[in-house]
Chains A and B, each alone.
Chain A
Amino acid sequence: GQSLEQPSEVTAVEGAIVQINCTYQTSGFYGLSWYQQHDGGAPTFLSYNALDGLEETGRFSSFLSRSDSYGYLLLQELQMKDSASYFCAVRDSQTGANNLFFGTGTRLTVIP
């Protein structure tokens, strides 16, 4: 099966930098994804790491270390609109279907 662990809540100040960690256990790892979800909204894709290292997309960066089964999402220059839930998700080939399994999410609150 799969398991993912991430902090349940994080609070940070507007303009600051915040890092959301994710550790995972899976038998057929293909990649680690990050999704953002505002209250009442749909999850939206942020980033995907299949190989070790850092991927940067604007204010957001995502890191993966496959040997440590660990990744993180880094949000820079925080804005109030970044207040949302952030989910890490692993693509797992165990079932042969290459499905995406989500963690329980980290609720980020950005304060002025």
Chain B
Amino acid sequence: EAGVAQSPRYKIIEKRQSVAFWCNPISGHATLYWYQQILGQGPKLLIQFQNNGVVDDSQLPKDRFSAERLKGVDSTLKIQPAKLEDSAVYLCASSRGGEPLHFGNGTRLTVT
């Protein structure tokens, strides 16, 4: 089966600019996650979707981050405006529910 697809692979922006990331999960996976991984740390959950509904967004900085999952398939994560501390790898993962999570290769964001 095809894996989780993410784009772009790399993105460099200036602070206060906007950026969007795209994720296409594995076909048939109802659950989709966005994680933020700062260099040298473990992935931190930002938001979890079940189909096209948000299950948990308690750790999403809602003043600047937003995410949606259209028709329960693809998802986009947006940051507006970006801050220097947003520099990280943004990982998308999907699952049928529970283990295992299948991760994409991530988008490496650098904010200058």
Residues of A within 8 A of B (CB): 4, 31, 33, 35, 41-45, 48, 87, 89, 91, 95-105
Residues of B within 8 A of A (CB): 4, 33, 35, 40-45, 48, 55-56, 58, 91, 93, 98-106
Chain A residues contacting B33 (CB-CB under 8 Å) are 99-100
In the complex, the answer to whether B56 meets A43 with C-beta atoms within 8 Å is no
Task: Given contacts A43-B91, A97-B56, A104-B41, list 8 more A-B pairs with CB under 8 A.
Answer: A44-B103, A45-B100, A45-B102, A97-B55, A98-B98, A99-B45, A100-B45, A102-B42
Smallest CB gap from A50: residue in B: B99
A42 and B106 contact, Cβ closer than 8 Å, known pairs A33-B99, A104-B42: yes
Q: How far is the CB of B81 from chain A (nearest CB, A)?
A: 27
A99 and B56 contact, Cβ closer than 8 Å, known pairs A43-B43, A105-B42: yes
Q: How far is the CB of B35 from chain A (nearest CB, A)?
A: 8
How far, in whole Å, are A104 and B55 apart by their CA atoms in the complex? 24
How far, in whole Å, are A102 and B41 apart by their CA atoms in the complex? 9
25 contacts between A and B (CB under 8 A): A4-B42, A31-B99, A42-B4, A42-B91, A42-B103, A42-B104, A43-B43, A43-B103, A44-B103, A45-B102, A48-B99, A48-B100, A87-B43, A89-B42, A96-B55, A97-B55, A99-B33, A99-B45, A100-B33, A101-B45, A102-B42, A103-B42, A104-B42, A105-B40, A105-B42
Taking a contact as CB atoms closer than 8 A, the residue among A44, A95, A97, A102 that contacts B44 in the complex is: A102
Chain A residues contacting B55 (CB-CB under 8 Å) are 96-97
- The DSSP consensus for interface residues of chain A is strand
Chain A residues contacting B91 (CB-CB under 8 Å) are 42-43
In the complex, the answer to whether B101 meets A95 with C-beta atoms within 8 Å is no
Taking a contact as CB atoms closer than 8 A, the residue among B40, B101, B102, B104 that contacts A100 in the complex is: B101
A102 and B100 contact, Cβ closer than 8 Å, known pairs A43-B91, A95-B58, A97-B55: no
Smallest CB gap from B42: residue in A: A102
Chain A residues contacting B4 (CB-CB under 8 Å) are 42
Chain A residues contacting B43 (CB-CB under 8 Å) are 43, 87, 102
In the complex, the answer to whether A45 meets B101 with C-beta atoms within 8 Å is yes
